[in-house]
Structure 1
Amino acid sequence: MAIEQEIARLQEEMEEYKAKTVEIDETIKSLHEDIMDAGGMDLRLQKIVVDDVRKRINGLNNKITKSMVAKAKAEKDVTKLESTIKKAEREFEKLETDLKELEQESKRKAKEASEVMKEVEKHQTVVYTRGLYAVPVCECNHNFYLVADERSESESRQFT
């Protein structure tokens, strides 16, 4: 029972404090109005100006915060792009090297092909003058079998 009585007493005390708080708030509001009335129109105008300046400061602070976030993001993007550019440059250099190697190989192959073509033309000239035509045996070692033209006698021999 003692605890219940203590709780009831504290609740009554709390209600009294709440009532006093309301009275104090009303007194403060009244004093604020009295101050505003005493200051007259100049004080009210200054209050409006101060409120407006505060709003602008808050707006500018928001813009500053957004700008700082955008700047940080842009710096991060720049770092990523620089990394991507360096990687692309390395790949480009490798591709240039590969291209030069392929061009050199292409020149070698073209030279080899030219030599083979000259050899084939040389052998074709010999074959056609004898009335024979060449049938390739194997392209890898450039061996040919000569077969007689239908108009001439049957003849077959290897020609390299």
Structure 2
Amino acid sequence: MKLKYICFLIAALLLASCRGQSGEKDAATTQDGPAVAENFKVQKPEAEWRAELTELEFYILRKAGTENPGSSDLLNNKQAGTYVCAGCQTPVFRSEHKFDSGTGWPSFDREIEGNVAYSVDTAFGMTRTEEHCAVCGGHLGHVFDDGPRQTTGKRHCINGAALDFIPAQ
């Protein structure tokens, strides 16, 4: 009987702690957005961000959430243009640096230099490099060292809902 109780307790704890791919990273956020040591040029109260962004954009940009893989309309976008932060319209990636990583998220081999900021993310028991818009601090995604070797070797794995796309003229 005691073993049954212990097994049930362990199973309940494991289920309660599982958040999946779409988990929100509470520990790395503050009331007004990502907890990074920088002061960003665009700063707004949470209520203003909520009013300006869709629910999904707010969840990703301001609460460091992650969209479900394969769910972004921008995943298979092949048009020439610029990807901008959905929170403040700062250009962060160019279409010529986009590639199909097979991960289910839009991926780029480089950022627009100076427009993306970085911090250390230790959520989910691993250390990753988190990417933010350098102007508003919005969470964009993460960068990994498993990108195309013929270019930078980097894979900027970005939430499509964190981006807007502006087609080339």
Q: TM-score range by the shorter chain?
A: under 0.3
**So what's the TM-score if we normalise by structure 2?**
0.23
Higher relative contact order (CA closer than 8 Å, sequence separation 6+): 2
Structure with a larger share of its residues in strand = 2
Structure with a larger share of its residues in helix = 1
Larger gyration radius, structure 1 or structure 2: 1
**So what's the TM-score if we normalise by structure 1?**
0.24
